Amino acid sequence: MLARSDYMVCSDITPAGGCTHPPCYGAFPRLLGRYRRRFTTMRLEAMVHRMTDRSAQRFGLARRGRIETGYFADIAVFDEARVNDTATYADPRRFPVGIPYVIVNGQVAVDNERCTGIHAGQAVP
């Protein structure tokens, strides 16, 4: 299904309160890792586009989804050979692997696969 040109990738998981569902910690890493490596018909660039720019456009989120001057600086740096989810129903709060750096609104939130404690995210209007 992801092969359709009009499809996007998003998650309906909201990690509020007791969040005990594995996708809270691994929806996107699972797609970038396990699914992309198993179903090799989609290029990495196309999958990332469906997770970022296409989703932002579809939902009308201004200045999001691209690395561009004037946009929010939300960037995840990942190792395409290693990225994967690790959360399970028995242990749903396990962080993914293969994502050494995450920058949220220009601030480093994950540094060398360790959370920095910085919470720079903002609610999307």
Domain-located, residue 7: no
Chain mean position to CA 124: 15
Q: What is residue 45's three-state secondary structure?
A: helix
Say how many domains are in the chain: 1
Q: What is the pLDDT of residues 50-106, one digit of tens each?
A: 899 998 999 899 999 999 999 988 999 999 999 999 999 899 889 999 999 999 999
Domain-located, residue 32: yes
Q: Where are the alpha helices (DSSP H) in 59-120?
A: none
Per the CB < 8 A criterion, the answer to whether 112 and 98 are in contact is: no
Report the distance separating Cα 15 and Cα 109, nearest Å.
Answer: 16
Give the per-residue pLDDT at 13.
Answer: 66
Q: What is the pLDDT of residues 97-112, one digit of tens each?
A: 999 999 999 999 999 9
Domain that holds residue 94: 23-115
Domain-located, residue 123: no
Amino acid at position 41, single letter: T
